Amino acid sequence: MSSEISCIVCHTKILVTPHEKRENMNYVICSNGHCLHIDPCLKMWLLNSESCPVCNTRYSPDILETYSKKSQIDEILTPNEPHNEQEVEECIVVIDKLNRAKKLLLEQKFTASLNILFDVLDHDDPNNVDAKFLLGKVYFLSGRFDLSINTLMRLIKTYYNYPLAFYYLGKSFESVGLDDKALWAYQRSYRNLKQILEESDKDSLSKSKLSNVFEEVVNILKKLNSEQSQ
């Protein structure tokens, strides 16, 4: 049996399943039982503190090692290479903005999320791949499918293997009735996700999330191929 609790940062619901495997969880629990989403709530919080926002208990070493400020910086800056203080500070600013944009997206505050993403691309990092992807995702989730298609098509021209770009591109094409193009996008999403899931350097949480999307893509492809054969 599962139960619902609220994230202590964004206050939206978290579905908690007893005995759930760690790699399948999208939340963490401190030693005193306080829960929060991993992405973006925990990541955003760890930029400023390594302790639970409610009880101030320090998070476990494995949580800090996986989601700490340093690990988030290493995703953007090349790890094990020297970086000056200004580079690191600028990186933290961008990470914080992207996490806030994700949080607003979870809350379905699409305009506010878009404003932050435009700010990143206009003033901080015009080539930020994550911001470009999130822009396309926000457009899709807010029902602006043409803008989602245009944004994601530009993204894949430069970053062909971005994990979920083809997935949301396929969903956008499908939403406007372009099933042939949706099939093309889902086929490429299948290839990209299959390759990523076979890599050994992805953390278990990322692989678990992508596995769920991969299964969805497989089912969508079966449906679209069946419809085309009729």
One domain, residues 7 and 79: yes
Tell me which of 78, 93, 108 is where a domain ends.
93
pLDDT band at residue 70 under the 50/70/90 scheme = low
- Measured CA to CA, the distance from residue 165 to residue 13 in angstroms comes to 26
Tell me which of 69, 93, 117 is where a domain ends.
93
pLDDT band at residue 1 under the 50/70/90 scheme = very low
Task: Look at residue 84 and tell me if it is in a domain.
Answer: yes
Helix (H) or strand (E) holding 141: helix 129-141
Neighbours of 60 (CB within 10 A): 13
Task: Look at residue 45 and tell me if it is in a domain.
Answer: yes
Task: Look at residue 196 and tell me if it is in a domain.
Answer: yes
> Which residues fall within 8 angstroms of residue 32, CB to CB, at 6 or more apart?
52, 54, 55, 57
pLDDT of residue 12 exceeding 50? yes
Q: Cα torsion at 123, 158, 200, 198 (round to 10°)?
A: 140
Mean pLDDT of the chain: 82
- Measured CA to CA, the distance from residue 42 to residue 60 in angstroms comes to 13
- Measured CA to CA, the distance from residue 95 to residue 85 in angstroms comes to 15
Domain count, the chain: 2
- Measured CA to CA, the distance from residue 138 to residue 101 in angstroms comes to 9
Least confident span in 3-17, 54-68, 160-174: 3-17
Compute the average pLDDT of residues 55-80: 72
Contact criterion met (CB below 8 Å) for 112 and 19: no
Task: Look at residue 137 and tell me if it is in a domain.
Answer: no
Range of the domain at 185: 156-230
Task: Look at residue 205 and tell me if it is in a domain.
Answer: yes
Decide: pTM greater than 0.85: no
Highest mean pLDDT among 57-66, 77-86, 101-110, 197-206: 101-110
pLDDT digits (tens, 9 = 90+) for 108-162: 999 999 999 999 999 988 989 999 999 999 999 999 999 999 999 999 998 888 8
pLDDT digits (tens, 9 = 90+) for 91-114: 778 888 888 898 899 889 999 999
Higher pLDDT, 148 or 86: 148
Compute the average pLDDT of residues 18-30: 62
Higher pLDDT, 67 or 176: 176
Tell me which of 51, 74, 93 is where a domain ends.
93
Contact criterion met (CB below 8 Å) for 25 and 205: yes
One domain, residues 81 and 2: yes
Higher pLDDT, 4 or 199: 199
Q: What is the separation, in whole angstroms, between the first and last Cα of the chain?
A: 41
- Encoded amino acid at 128, one letter: N
Higher pLDDT, 32 or 176: 176
pLDDT score of 202: 56
pLDDT band at residue 201 under the 50/70/90 scheme = low
CATH label of the domain that carries residue 199: 1.20.58
Task: Tell me the three state secondary structure of residue 15.
Answer: strand
Task: Look at residue 138 and tell me if it is in a domain.
Answer: no
CATH label of the domain that carries residue 55: 3.30.40.10
